[in-house]
Each structure stands twice: as structure tokens, then as C-alpha cells.
Amino acid sequence: MPGAKKSFLFGYSQVVNWFLAWVFLGFVNSSGLNIYRNAICDYYQISPVPILNGSTIAGIIGAFLFLAIPGVTRKIGAKWLLVISAIICGLAWLLGPMFSDPILIAVCVGIVNVTCNMFSLSGTMILVSKWFPRKKGTVMGIITSGGLGASLVLVPLFNIFNSSFDVKAASLVTGLLLVAYGVSSIFWLRETPQEVGLLPDNKPVDAELEKIMATQKGGWTSREMLRCKKWWLGSLGWSATMFAIIGFITIAVTYMLSRGVPEPMAMAAVSACGVVQFVASNISGVIDQKIGPVKTSLLVNGCQIIGFLIICFYGGGSSAIVVLSYLLVLGVFGATNNMFSSHILSLAGPKNYVTAFAGFTFIHNFTKAFASYASSYSLSSTGGYELAYLIFLAAMVVGLILIIAAGDKLAPEALASAEKSEG
């Protein structure tokens, strides 16, 4: 039937929207952020230190703001959380270069850092839990591969306008694209599949689906979440993992150049990294759907630990091995983005996901705020980044141990709250 076909396609059009959210996240929070920050500093001939310090402070403030997300989403919904934060993020991005004062630039960068995580990490993942509770692994694998779009489209676009005009023009164009995405999402997104006559996963009702839908009533309070041992293990494990990876992102190119990799080869590795992230994200989603998030994390985090071992202890002069270590850590990062969201959802269940993920995001952003400090401390105290590499390796190992300890079965506290709401 034409109507059914249209509704079916509309369900998957939501995935396209979420994918675009992660394209913009990859740009404003990763591949484009370093270029953006350096371009502003070059334009005004200012030091990046105040901006980096401002980002750390903003990260800490943002971590506390994330505690309000469960209440906000209950009031306005995940759709409007995504829309509002995407528009604010785009405006802050385009306004940053308009100021010459490092403090005002740092404020804009800080707003970008906070809001980009709200529309991507929080907004899209909450919507995934409502639209695709049983296909979460596959869907999260698809949308978190959006970093490739940032590397292939937005970064070159920014560079073209920056070289042809200046950083103000480059930021204006890319910022307006993000604002346009936020505005279009007002008409594009729906909070739940039921709003357009669909069921979760675009499937007919069965016993399993009824059980999942029933668990979406109510949800954990913050106190119930804090009493859940599995949630603590998973949240701390993934926060340690992300601390290491985000910390390495800020010095990754410097690492390759310092180990003798020619600059053209290093830049090619950065471009190739987006392709690897795309592949890793999608493959991890399929594997996660088959064997679960913890076993998949053993593969994903294991690759990254091997990468850090090479970074820390390889003393040879092979540029290929240095680039391989870079790709093992940051190429596989495409899978990491998928895995932490899937794991938290597996532990908390759809019913408690909003609260559980907001709590995790608080810990994640709080620890992430200190990632760049580990690098700056290493540089100032030793004259290099070798100490930071060891810190990141230790964080990765500890994180994987905690993830394994958490397991991937629904937490007893989640079952208890589900039974309480249904009884």
C-alpha cells in the first residue's frame, strides 16, 4: 500500500537525520575543531592556551548541565533538545571568529563543545532507543559513522573558504549549515514512531516488542541510577576510554610528525581515518547486534590498546607503523562512539536510558575536560608527550577492565524498576 510504504520510509528517514547530527558532531568536536581553533589563532595572532583553558572550564560546566537532561527531555522531548542545541551550536560556531578577545572566543568554543554533545550524544541516542530498541546496534553503527561526512565534506569546505577568504567566512558558511540542519529538524523529526502511525523497529506487535514498549513507562530517578553497580562500572569504563581517545586526538598529528612521518603522509592519514571510522562504526554495529556490546568492545578497545602500545613503546623509524598506530586508535574510534551508547542502553534498558545516559554523559564530559590537560602537563613537565601517551594507555586498559566487569545484561535495578512500573 502507498501509505504504508511512505510511513515505512519515513521511519528510516529519521536515521538519515541522526546520521547528519553525527556528521556535524565529527566536524565541530573533532576533525574541524582543531582547524577552526588554529585558524582563529592565526587570524588574530593570539595564543591558543586561553582557548584551550576555556574549553576545559566549559567542559566541566557542561558536565553538570547534562544532569538536567532527563528533566529537560521529559518536558520538551529529545527532538526539541536536538533542535535547540543544534541551532545554538551553529550560532556559537559562526560567532567565534567574529571576536578578537580570546576569552570571548573561548566562550563560543565552550558553547560549541557543550551543545554539540547535546544534539548528538543525547538527542539522537534517546531517539534511537525509542524508534529502534531492538535494532539499536545496527542503527547506532550507521549514525555514528557520520564522522566520514565531516572529513570528506565539511572539513574541505571549511578549508576552501578559509583559504579563499578568511576564517570568518569559513565559520559563517559551516555554522549556517548547522543552523539550517537544526531548523529543518523541527519539521523532519518525530519523537516517537507512534506519532506517524508506526511501531518501534517498523515491526508488528509481538510479545518481545510489547515487553520493550512497556519498559518505556516512567524511568529511573537519579538516586535509583546511582545505586546501580553495573551503570557505575559501564559509565566509568567508557569515560576512561573516551578520556584517552579525546586526549590523543588533540596531539595526534603532532605525534605522527614528531615520529618522522612526512607531513603529506600525515595529512593523508587524517583523511583516511574518516573512511576507517565509517567502516569501523558500521561493522561494529553489525557485530554488536550478533554478539553483544561487551564482546564487541573487546575487539574494538583491544585494537586501540594495541595502537597505544605501539605509540608508547615503538622506537623504530617506520612511518607506516606510526600511521598504523594512529589509525588503530582514531580509526577504530568510529566504533567506540557506537559501543558506549549501545552498552549503556543494554545495561539500563529503554525505560531508564534517558537518565542513565545523562548520568554517563556527566561523568564522560567531566573526565574529558581534563584530557587536554594531561597533554599540556606532559609537555610542560617533560618537554614531550610521552608521559601523556602512557596515561592514555593506562586509562584504556582500566576502562576495558571496567567494561568487562559491567557485562551487557540488563541491570537488576533496571528490572526492578520495570516491574515496579508495570505492577
Per residue in 189-214, pLDDT (tens digit) is 999 887 877 777 766 555 555 555 55
Q: Are residues 373 and 284 in the same domain?
A: yes
In a domain, 284, yes or no: yes
Average pLDDT over residues 87-115: 91
Read off φ and ψ for residue 79, nearest 5 degrees: -60, -50
Q: Are residues 343 and 379 in the same domain?
A: yes
Angle between helices 293-313 and 263-291 (to 10 degrees): 160
Residue that has been written with the C-alpha cell 576510554 in this structure? 241
Q: What does the pLDDT look like over 377-409, one tens digit per residue?
A: 888 888 888 999 999 999 999 999 999 999 988
Q: Are residues 79 and 145 in the same domain?
A: yes
Which sign, positive or negative, has the C-alpha torsion 46, 178, 369, 377? Answer: negative
Residue 116 pLDDT more than 80? yes
Question: Which grid coordinates belong to 387?
Answer: 608521559
Q: What does the pLDDT look like over 325-361, one tens digit per residue?
A: 999 998 888 788 778 878 888 888 777 877 887 788 7
User: 406 near 347, Cβ under 8 Å?
Assistant: yes
Tell me what pLDDT residue 318 has. Answer: 92
Q: Are residues 390 and 244 in the same domain?
A: yes
Number of domains in the chain: 2
Question: Which grid coordinates belong to 344?
Answer: 549503556
Residue of 370 and 98 predicted with greater confidence: 98
Where would I find the beta strands (DSSP E) of 275-394? none
Going by pLDDT thresholds of 50, 70 and 90, the confidence category of residue 120 is confident
Q: Are residues 166 and 290 in the same domain?
A: no
* Residues in contact with 81: Cβ distance below 8 Å, sequence separation at least 6, in sequence order: 69, 72, 73, 118, 119, 122, 123, 126
Residue 224 pLDDT more than 60? yes
Q: What does the pLDDT look like over 278-320, one tens digit per residue?
A: 888 888 888 887 888 899 999 999 999 999 999 999 988 899 9
Tell me what pLDDT residue 1 has. Answer: 36
Q: What angle do CA 127, 56, 116 make, to 5 degrees?
A: 25
Q: What is the DSSP letter of 261?
A: -
Residue that has been written with the C-alpha cell 590498546 in this structure? 305
Tell me what pLDDT residue 3 has. Answer: 41
d(CA 311, CA 68): 38
* Residues in contact with 2: Cβ distance below 8 Å, sequence separation at least 6, in sequence order: none
* Residues in contact with 181: Cβ distance below 8 Å, sequence separation at least 6, in sequence order: 20, 21, 24, 86, 90
In a domain, 69, yes or no: yes
Q: Are residues 373 and 296 in the same domain?
A: yes
Q: Are residues 44 and 176 in the same domain?
A: yes
Where would I find the beta strands (DSSP E) of 96-188? none
Q: Which domain, by its residues, includes 288?
A: 218-418
Q: How many CB atoms lie within 10 A of CB 344?
A: 26
pTM of whole model > 0.75? no
Tell me what pLDDT residue 212 has. Answer: 53
User: 177 near 161, Cβ under 8 Å?
Assistant: no
* CATH number of the structural domain spanning residue 254: 1.20.1250.20
d(CA 102, CA 108): 10
Going by pLDDT thresholds of 50, 70 and 90, the confidence category of residue 4 is very low
Q: What is the mean pLDDT of the chain?
A: 84
Question: Which grid coordinates belong to 54?
Answer: 576555556
d(CA 175, CA 24): 10
